[in-house]
Amino acid sequence: MSVLTPSAPSVPHRPAPATPRRRAGNAVSDAWTLTLRILLYYRHSPGLVAASLIAPLAMLLVFGYIFGSAIKLPGGGSYRDYLMPGMFILVAVNGIMPSMNGAARDVGRGVTDRLRSMPISRSAALFGQTLADLAVSTVVLAMMAGVGLALGWRAQHGVAHAVTAFALLLLFRFVANWIGIYLGLLIGREDMAGQLSVLVFPLSMVTNVFVTTGGMPGWLRLVANWNPISAVAAAARELFGNTVPAMPGEVLPLPLRHPIAATLVWCAVLLTVFVPLAVRKFTTHGR
């Protein structure tokens, strides 16, 4: 019997017709297969996991120990305790980069076309990539937390609150992944995606990640306060118990007064925008 075709003429492999239930099952299976693809990739390049720690660790060193030695929070409190949740959020925001580079690489190398020529669920193909990244970033966040603990940072409100904080951070990383996938599909070129990665960092600068926003000029403070990243950072600080007192007379805007709710709203809004955009871009790429 021939390996390629069991009998002549060719009898291609043909799954049963797609019922809604089977469709859903196939989508889950596709998502898991594409998760596996990325996890296998990381398994062969474990250095990449460690590499995603480099940027936040470097920031921790620069801001925690160099700038930090001269930074006094306007309302008082330990700057390093304030900074640590900011480093976690940096890990979350940086989720844009691997997704953007990965998606652009897949487009450039024809992997996206190969996937699109196969009978697979469009959204599952992308969901798999974000799922794999979540697994990896859980490890990265855990390593980052280990570094924080070693340096004397503590979650003040107990394990349950800390776990909630990490869940919010992972949720935001998930959001960042979808933004990254959309941008990567849009850019479609690996080299250009690499160049644009640099622009991710300023996104996390105009926030309360490194310093409180109270002392910023008015217009900048407005942008920083309404930056979704600020809400997530504030939520993490609240849950970890690393909040600092506001400046006397400072009125925080709505998202920073209810940072946890604001984080959830921001994530819902961003996902509602970027998931359909990314799936649409993937489906119509080159059409």
Q: Is 16 in the site for other proteins (CB under 8 A)?
A: yes
Q: Is 156 in the site for other proteins (CB under 8 A)?
A: no
Select from 57, 115, 147, 203 the one that contacts other proteins (CB under 8 A). 115
CA contacts within 13 A on the Cβ side of 269: 7
Phi-psi region of 245 (alpha: psi -120 to 50; beta: other; left: phi over 0): beta
Which stretch, 103-111, 131-139, 163-171, 204-212, contacts other proteins (CB under 8 A)?
Answer: 103-111
Q: Is 111 in the site for other proteins (CB under 8 A)?
A: yes
User: Which three-class secondary structure string do you get for 112-161?
Assistant: HHHHHCCCCCHHHHHHHHHHHHHHHHHHHHHHHHHHHHHCCCCCCCHHHH
Q: Is 44 in the site for other proteins (CB under 8 A)?
A: yes
Q: Of the two residues 139 and 273, which places its CB atom closer to other proteins in the complex?
A: 139
Query: Where does residue 111 rank: exposed (0-12), middle (13-18), buried (19+ CB within 10 A)?
Result: middle
Q: Of the two residues 14 and 72, which places its CB atom closer to other proteins in the complex?
A: 14
Work out how close the CB of 39 gets to other proteins at its nearest, in angstroms, rounded to a whole number: 10
As a whole number of angstroms, the distance between CA 43 and CA 41 comes to 5
Q: Of the two residues 43 and 257, which places its CB atom closer to other proteins in the complex?
A: 43
Measured between alpha carbons, how far apart are the two ends of the chain, in Å?
40
Q: Note the residue count of the chain.
A: 287
Q: Is 14 in the site for other proteins (CB under 8 A)?
A: yes
Q: Is 3 in the site for other proteins (CB under 8 A)?
A: yes
Select from 24, 62, 114, 280 the one that contacts other proteins (CB under 8 A). 114
Select from 20, 28, 30, 277 the one that contacts other proteins (CB under 8 A). 30
Q: Is 21 in the site for other proteins (CB under 8 A)?
A: no
As a whole number of angstroms, the distance between CA 225 and CA 116 comes to 41
Q: Is 45 in the site for other proteins (CB under 8 A)?
A: yes
Q: Is 113 in the site for other proteins (CB under 8 A)?
A: yes
Number of H helices, E strands in the chain: 13, 0
Judged by the rule CB under 8 A, the positions of this chain that interact with other proteins are: 2-6, 8-18, 26, 29-30, 33-34, 36-37, 40-41, 44-45, 108-111, 113-120, 286-287
